[in-house]
Amino acid sequence: MRVDTLTYFSTSLPGIRDNQTAIARLNQQIASGQRLLAPKDDPLDTEKVLYLSNRVATRSQHVANQDRAQLALKYEEVVVQEMQQSLSAARDLLRISPYNDQSLRNIHAEQLKGTFNHILGLLNTQDPAGNYIFGGYVTNSAPYANTSLSGATVTPLDTTYTGTTAPGGLRQIEIEEGRTVQVNDNLESVFLFTDSSFIDPANGAGPNQDDHDLLENLAYAIANLPGSTITVDEINRLALVIDTTLERLALVEHRVAGAMSEVEDARSSTKALLLQEQNALSDIQQVDQAAAIIELQLRQTTLEAANQAFARTSGLSLFNYL
């Protein structure tokens, strides 16, 4: 075939150009660690990357949500357990009160003051961010108030609840796509409950005789244990109020424990899937450094060969011999 001078000189060019392009690209890949420098490098893989990135972002957020839910539940669990301990101790005091003499009952009454204040304080527990955790949506003011012990003499008074009333006011956190978990409880029905099976000493018989108020009954015990008028039956019914409260509190504790194990389950599956998706993502996105460096070496050799070929052939001309 006849070859013209221009073609003769420029045949090495495509080889040099292609190798230079490949080397520049390999350099970029190795420096950035990314296999895909732009979506167009591999549209199909880009689609997978976008899908996986979205999944990873959503799941990472769910892991954060789960941490958050677990923290709130753990916090509540600790507070509920503290309430249980305090109330159990109070109940034990009342169970032995009828069989003690007056001086010991005076001491019991003083101890029950501690229980009263402790329980009221726990009902108004604030989380580390300063939000009241048992007031439902009302997180910015103490939801429970009882002023029975505030006066010069102890007077049993009703507990007032200013938080959100059940069933509303229960906060949910999304732990998986479309799945939420309840992370707080409304203790209104635990400490202010209705039970028609008995009449408590503080409230007495009357139109609201089915309603029972733990704090009011504690105040009643504090006010009356030092006196001589309180009967054994009354003391037993005071203990019954605490027992019922404890039963109801146990249900809350079970719910919290159930929610925690739900979060734990969700967390282990989310983390497993997250890991899998992160691996898949990095498999697609990341450059195989060893392979890239070997290819770079190969391209360099080819480029050098093309350069040499040009240098050697470009000097050939018949005019040199004339």
The footprint of another protein (CB under 8 A) covers: 1-8, 11, 14, 38-43, 46-47, 50-51, 53-54, 57-58, 60-61, 64-65, 68-69, 129, 131-132, 135-140, 163-164, 168-169, 171-174, 177-178, 180, 317-319, 322
Residue 178: HSE in the Cβ half-sphere, 13 Å Cα cutoff: 0
Q: Could you tell me the smallest distance in angstroms from the CB atom of residue 39 to another protein?
A: 4
Q: What is the helix (H) or strand (E) element at residue 119, kind and residue range?
A: helix 102-123
Which residues are paired to 181 by β-bridges? Answer: 173
Q: Could you tell me the smallest distance in angstroms from the CB atom of residue 232 to another protein?
A: 44
Instruction: Give the C-alpha separation, 299 to 303, whole Å.
Output: 6
Q: Which residue has the tokens 């050939």?
A: 316
Q: Could you tell me the smallest distance in angstroms from the CB atom of residue 46 to another protein?
A: 5
Instruction: Give the C-alpha separation, 239 to 225, whole Å.
Output: 13
Instruction: Give the C-alpha separation, 262 to 73, whole Å.
Output: 11
Q: Could you tell me the smallest distance in angstroms from the CB atom of residue 120 to another protein?
A: 20
Our CA dihedral for 205, 246, 214, 172, rounded to 10 degrees, sits at -120
Nearer to another protein, 185 or 234 (CB): 185
Nearer to another protein, 50 or 250 (CB): 50
Instruction: Give the C-alpha separation, 188 to 115, whole Å.
Output: 18
Nearer to another protein, 74 or 254 (CB): 74
Q: Could you tell me the smallest distance in angstroms from the CB atom of residue 190 to another protein?
A: 19
Instruction: Give the C-alpha separation, 82 to 119, whole Å.
Output: 9
Instruction: Give the C-alpha separation, 154 to 70, whole Å.
Output: 40
Nearer to another protein, 9 or 198 (CB): 9
Q: Is the dihedral of CA 68, 73, 79, 82 positive or negative?
A: negative
Instruction: Give the C-alpha separation, 67 to 267, whole Å.
Output: 8
Nearer to another protein, 81 or 140 (CB): 140
| 121, 113 Cβ separation under 8 angstroms | no
Quote the tokens at residue 20.
Answer: 């230079």
DSSP 126: B
Q: Could you tell me the smallest distance in angstroms from the CB atom of residue 283 to another protein?
A: 18
Q: Could you tell me the smallest distance in angstroms from the CB atom of residue 81 to another protein?
A: 23
Nearer to another protein, 168 or 206 (CB): 168
Instruction: Give the C-alpha separation, 239 to 110, whole Å.
Output: 17
Nearer to another protein, 152 or 318 (CB): 318
Q: Could you tell me the smallest distance in angstroms from the CB atom of residue 56 to another protein?
A: 9
Quote the tokens at residue 60.
Answer: 């990472």
Nearer to another protein, 89 or 145 (CB): 145
